Amino acid sequence: MNTSYKILLSSLLASQTLLITACGDSSTHPSSDIIDLGLPSDLHLSLIDASTGAYYGYDTSSLILTDLNQEAASSQDSGVQNLAITDTSTIGQFLHWPDVYENEGEDHLDMKYLLMLPEYISGDTVDASVFSKLVHFHGDDLAAHTADEFENPEAGSNVEAAFVRLNDHVADQNALYNEVAEALPAGQQLCRAFVDPYAALEHAHEHDHAKAEEEHGELMHFALTDSGRVYFYHEETEGLEEAQNFVKLDNVSSILDCSRTTVARASDDGILIFVPDTQTIYLVDSHGSDYHQHSAWDIAALLPTGVRADLVAILGAGEAHDHDHEHQ
Amino acid sequence: MRHMILTAACCLALPLASAAQTELAPITVTQPPPENQNSDTTDLGKDAANATLGGYLDNMPNVDSASYGEAVGRPVVRGMSGYRIKILHNDNEVSDLSAMSQDHAVAVAPRASERIELLKGPASLLYAAQAGGVVRIRDVLDDPFLASGWRGQVAGDLRASPSSHNLDTRLTWSNDTWAWHFGGLTQDAQAYESGRGERIADSDLSTAQVQLAAGWRPGSRSEWLLSTTQLEKDYGIPNDTAEATRINMQREDYSLKFRYDPAPIWLDSITVDAHYSDYLHDETEGGRKDGLFGQQQQQAALQLSWSAALWSGETRLSASNSELRVCHEHGACNDFSHAPRSGVPLGESILQYIESTGLPYSHGHPMPDTQSRLWQLSNVADRPLGADYRISVGLHTQWRELKPDANNIQEQWVYPEQLDAVHYDTRREDAWSVSLGLRREPLNTTPLSWELSLSALQRLPSVDELYWNGFHHATESYIFGTPHLDTERSLNLDADLSWSKPRHRWQLSGFFYRFQDYIFQDQGYTDEGAPLSDPFHLSDVWFTRQSDARFIGGSVRYEHHSQAQAEHTWMLWLQADALHAEQSDGRHLPRTAPANLGAGLRYEHSNWLATASLKHVFEARHLAPNESATDAYNWVSLYLEHRLQRGQQALDLWLKADNLFDVYAQNHLSVLKDTAPLPGRQISAGARWKF
């Protein structure tokens, strides 16, 4: 073998080796504000650290984590400026409000949440004295109204109508809570009861009254207990009936403060549950059969180091379908 | 991977000392008995349907490929699949998880090897006691000192539609003292089309492999070899999920081998081999890491080649430690971890499912982290028996300790003590195997030679056969292991007969394997006969069960050769394979290879070589309960090669056509036969330069 052959071969081998090794590591490093946890898309999460007032928003579609306090500080929009948390003593719990209102003869659902003051007790009637701000989307931007905008509503005003709808929701939640609590097995203490508001509205739209009553039984009633179990009920004529085995959430043995848990819709297929004790968001869903804990995400993977989440609000309808196990 | 390659390269880049001319005494290594098939990889590649190990061996008598798309093909030898076949890379076990599940590829690149051997009977017991024998892939690392000077190969090929390209290069230099080897391989193939012209989604694959080795002979009697092989495969799983299922596999091996030729006449060589292997593959669906499989293994082996009186043989003592870890968590299997414990009773969700369904369904990590320690002692020997015969004996014993650790499993999915108090207890067990062979040597005086072997083998159940309880994404199946499986026992009778005349050659092979406690996966059905579905993913449910079983089969091959001295030489061959596999109750075992009949012609003239073959695979009709039939098909292949020879160098230019008539064909052995039929017509061209 002559020298030129050797050089040719060595070059070929070296270049191939370099090519292979260079291609071996295909990982990418996301930019600091893009965090892909694999959460269901089309949702917005608002997260608050109650001890510091740190306040973050996370869009599960754009995967962008935003410091809402910074955004409020830099914004010229008063609605965005109102997001700012300046006083940690005003942080109590989130109250999710699926606001169903009529506009031009059609029902609309606008998911909102209220940051309640610490003295508010779940189930109590809401007025401007028990919350600090109401948050929802103004177009594409998350924005807030401060409680003082809702003080002393005039008779017949939109604010008064809003309070009526809000307190109707609170009353419905109280009724749901009592109904579900009664159905739970002995020894289980209900933390939070939940019915998907989007599914409920869809049922109300699609069926006439008689049929809606009949179909109402299909709406799944979710029950999170303080031991970290999730129970599932259908509403039958004689009351709630357990639909399947309970699901045990990972690493949850007891929940200290149920008012700071969150249960929200993730998609047509399931729900997201936030448990502050474990700093984890759980996805409980089903793919045509039993609900199960499908995934769990550690909050620490989302928020900056040293920041914890005491409250998490979840807005949005989520994915129309979870394709994870859908078959062609 | 890159870091490890660089590290290895630095280690290997030792100063190249000027070598004193020393002469190494020849080392006698017991050759495999002639009944074992030993084939040049280049020759196998000419007939190979794809780049998998099963694809390379598929045309051997009674060898099939358990495919799972184009990227996966594990050989099935005489009906024996999975753990019943041991795959070696040179002398070391390939520490992959290909035997665990149909979708896991064999972590080797057969194209980069020099030879592939099929060992069975007594010879195979040196490495393992498997009813299907041992597949040994040998490459330059097995003997880098084979010839002095430079030698190597550059080979590449292209396929137009669907496009693929392959390139492998190897370069070895050695003198009497030093040997260096570099090898690299890249393979890329786009998704293929079936014989109906349908593009098979997620059937693409890419493979990359790097090999580095340095050998040193400090004296005439000893030899050191340090080597590393790094392999990465990325391939799609052509199943029917809406989102793409993919597997990315990496295997990193490091080996240090020492061979010594001692003075005593009776001891020919001593070989000590230390080997470390790190295997990892992830399974993604829609880009989310839903599954992760990892195995780290350390092996050490001492092998003696000896001869005493009329006996010659090899004795091998090996020890290995491996740690297997598996993750199943949707989108969260980036790494392995321990599950937290909150103090609630373990396994309460499992207990729920026992109450509601009678089965311990789980949605957690499907098996405990498991440490396996294995000690093996084996001996193979043979001696002449009179003038015409040789007798051979193989003995193999192993002792195993399994330590399952359920700390990785989420607390609600830990198998509860109420159901099985010893479920995660350490298991210690042993297995003993023996094989006897008698061979009539091929002699000039008679055209007849034959080999008969009788083996009594024991196989310990694998870790996943014992502990797996959960969903497997890539196969879309729910599998229950059985924690108290018995050792699988088999009595294997193999007979091979050859009758050779200058222009005619007959080869007949027959086998009969009788199993006690044969371990297999059996699909579950409801009392009404409907397939059982798991409660989380609605996937088919499979149980790991044991049953007595028997396999009987054989092959016949006839070759008709032209005059040996003729300018134009040709050879016509006919071959037929058949296999019957059933449980003791008469029910057929699933995915049993249907019979096939082949015919071919090989023509050589000057520097030209042409081959044509037709393989007819019969309809698979002997079906397991609820198994679907697979239609017959004809497979026509052509190969044309022209060699340009210059001194010691040869440049082969070749053209190849597989499935020339573009027929629609399914592999009955594939779980994905419906979604991943065999490829339609594929035409490729390549060049191979050997020097």
pLDDT at B217 over 60: yes
Contact A9 B152 (CB under 8 A): yes
Q: How confident is the model at residue A27 (pLDDT cuts 50, 70, 90)?
A: very low
The predicted model gives B498-505 an average pLDDT of 91
The predicted model gives B543-558 an average pLDDT of 96
- Chain A residue numbers touching B355 (CB-CB < 8 A): 245
pLDDT at B506 over 50: yes
Contact A9 B209 (CB under 8 A): no
Nearest CA in chain B to A297: B332
pLDDT at A29 over 60: no
Contact B342 A20 (CB under 8 A): no
A205 phi/psi in degrees, rounded to 5: -75, -45
The predicted model gives A84-92 an average pLDDT of 95
Contact B342 A253 (CB under 8 A): yes
What is the span of the domain harbouring residue A62? 31-325
Burial of B683 (0-12, 13-18, 19+ CB in 10 A): middle
When mean pLDDT is compared across A120-129, A154-163, B14-23, B316-325, the lowest value belongs to B14-23
Q: What is the pLDDT of residue A9?
A: 46
Nearest to B240 among A5, A16, A327 (CB): A327
Name the maximum alpha-carbon separation found in chain A: 100
Burial of B248 (0-12, 13-18, 19+ CB in 10 A): middle
- Chain A residue numbers touching B1 (CB-CB < 8 A): 21, 24-25
What are the start-end ranges of the H helices in chain A? 3-24, 68-74, 78-81, 158-183, 197-206, 209-215
- Chain B residue numbers touching A286 (CB-CB < 8 A): 536
Q: Which residue has the tokens 């949702």?
A: A43
- Number of helices followed by number of strands (H, E) in chain A: 6, 17
- Chain A residue numbers touching B340 (CB-CB < 8 A): 250-251, 278
Nearest CA in chain A to B6: A21
Give kind and range of the element (H or E) at residue B633: strand B633-646
Contact B330 A16 (CB under 8 A): no
Contact A252 B537 (CB under 8 A): no
Nearest CA in chain A to B170: A13
Tens of pLDDT, residues B552-578: 999 999 999 998 777 899 999 999 999
Nearest to B169 among A5, A16, A295 (CB): A16
When mean pLDDT is compared across A216-225, B315-324, B535-544, the lowest value belongs to A216-225
Answer left, alpha or beta for residue A228, where phi above 0 means left and psi between -120 and 50 means alpha.
left
The predicted model gives B2-24 an average pLDDT of 37
Contact A21 B5 (CB under 8 A): yes
Shortest Cα–Cα distance, A273 to chain B (Å): 16
Shortest Cα–Cα distance, B408 to chain A (Å): 12
Shortest Cα–Cα distance, A246 to chain B (Å): 8
The predicted model gives A270-281 an average pLDDT of 96
Write the CA distances from B412 to A56, A253, A261, B67, B350, integer angstroms.
Answer: 32, 11, 21, 36, 7
Q: What is the pLDDT of residue A82?
A: 96
pLDDT at A6 over 90: no
pLDDT at B60 over 80: yes
How many folded domains does chain A comprise?
Answer: 1
Q: What is the pLDDT of residue B482?
A: 96
Q: What is the pLDDT of residue A235?
A: 85
Q: What is the pLDDT of residue B661?
A: 96
Nearest Cα to B410, choosing from A282, A226, A24?
Answer: A282
Contact B332 A38 (CB under 8 A): yes
Contact B186 A21 (CB under 8 A): no
Q: What is the pLDDT of residue B684?
A: 95
* DSSP codes, B174-237: E-SSEEEEEEEEEEEE---BBTTS-B-TT--EEEEEEEEEEEE--SSSEEEEEEEEEEEEEEEE
Shortest Cα–Cα distance, A178 to chain B (Å): 25
pLDDT at A11 over 80: no
pLDDT at A104 over 90: no
**DSSP strand pairing (B178-189 vs B134-138):** unpaired
Tens of pLDDT, residues A123-167: 999 999 999 999 999 988 999 999 999 998 888 898 999 999 999
Provide the number of CB pairs (under 8 Å) joining chain A to chain B.
Answer: 131
Nearest to A324 among B210, B285, B538 (CB): B285
Shortest Cα–Cα distance, A204 to chain B (Å): 29
Q: What is the pLDDT of residue A41?
A: 92
Contact B332 A296 (CB under 8 A): yes
- Chain A residue numbers touching B169 (CB-CB < 8 A): 9, 12-13, 16
Q: How confident is the model at residue A60 (pLDDT cuts 50, 70, 90)?
A: very high
Q: What is the pLDDT of residue B263?
A: 77
The predicted model gives B78-103 an average pLDDT of 93
User: Is A26 part of a structural domain of the chain?
Assistant: no
When mean pLDDT is compared across A202-216, B309-323, B448-462, the lowest value belongs to A202-216
Contact B649 A1 (CB under 8 A): yes
User: Is A2 part of a structural domain of the chain?
Assistant: no
Q: What is the pLDDT of residue A206?
A: 66
Q: What is the pLDDT of residue B69?
A: 76
Nearest to B329 among A19, A253, A295 (CB): A295
Nearest to B353 among A1, A245, A293 (CB): A245
Mean per-residue pLDDT of chain B: 90
**DSSP strand pairing (B540-561 vs B477-480):** parallel
Indicate the domain borders of chain B.
Answer: 148-690
Shortest Cα–Cα distance, A172 to chain B (Å): 31
pLDDT at A4 over 70: no
User: Is A8 part of a structural domain of the chain?
Assistant: no
Contact B349 A245 (CB under 8 A): yes
Q: How confident is the model at residue B31 (pLDDT cuts 50, 70, 90)?
A: very low
Query: What b/e sequence results for B608-626 when a residue is b if at least 16 CB atoms lie within 10 Å of its CB, and e otherwise?
Result: ebbbbbebebbebebbbee
pLDDT at A325 over 90: no
Nearest CA in chain A to B353: A245
User: Is A13 part of a structural domain of the chain?
Assistant: no
Nearest to A38 among B241, B243, B288 (CB): B288
Contact B169 A12 (CB under 8 A): yes
Neighbours of B265 (CB within 10 A): 9
B661 phi/psi in degrees, rounded to 5: -95, 15
User: Is A90 part of a structural domain of the chain?
Assistant: yes
- Chain B residue numbers touching A19 (CB-CB < 8 A): 186
Shortest Cα–Cα distance, A314 to chain B (Å): 20
SS3 B594: coil
Q: What is the pLDDT of residue B70?
A: 81
CATH number attached to the domain at B148-690: 2.40.170.20
Q: What is the pLDDT of residue B92?
A: 92
Contact B184 A17 (CB under 8 A): yes
Contacts of B216 (CB under 8 A, 6+ apart): B177, B178, B179, B223, B224, B225
Shortest Cα–Cα distance, A232 to chain B (Å): 14
Shortest Cα–Cα distance, A299 to chain B (Å): 13
Contact A251 B342 (CB under 8 A): yes
- Chain A residue numbers touching B332 (CB-CB < 8 A): 38, 295-297
- Chain A residue numbers touching B676 (CB-CB < 8 A): none
Amino acid making up residue B455: S
Shortest Cα–Cα distance, A155 to chain B (Å): 51
User: Is A117 part of a structural domain of the chain?
Assistant: yes
CA–CA separation, B463 and A44 (whole Å): 43
Tens of pLDDT, residues B112-127: 999 999 999 999 999 9
Percent of chain B with pLDDT over 90: 76
Nearest to A327 among B242, B331, B349 (CB): B242
Q: What is the pLDDT of residue A33?
A: 73
Tens of pLDDT, residues B277-301: 999 999 998 888 889 999 999 999 9
Q: How confident is the model at residue B11 (pLDDT cuts 50, 70, 90)?
A: very low
Nearest Cα to A20, choosing from B185, B36, B19, B652?
Answer: B185
Q: How confident is the model at residue B19 (pLDDT cuts 50, 70, 90)?
A: very low
Nearest CA in chain B to A6: B150
pTM over 0.90: no
pLDDT at B244 over 60: yes
User: Is A19 part of a structural domain of the chain?
Assistant: no
Shortest Cα–Cα distance, A175 to chain B (Å): 29
Q: What is the pLDDT of residue A304?
A: 94
The predicted model gives B407-412 an average pLDDT of 94
- Chain B residue numbers touching A25 (CB-CB < 8 A): 1-2
Contacts of B316 (CB under 8 A, 6+ apart): B126, B127, B301, B302, B303, B304, B376, B377, B378, B379
**DSSP strand pairing (A221-225 vs A190-195):** antiparallel
Tens of pLDDT, residues B600-639: 999 999 999 999 999 999 999 899 888 899 999 999 999 9
Q: What is the pLDDT of residue A26?
A: 36
* DSSP codes, B36-49: SEEEEHHHHHHH-S
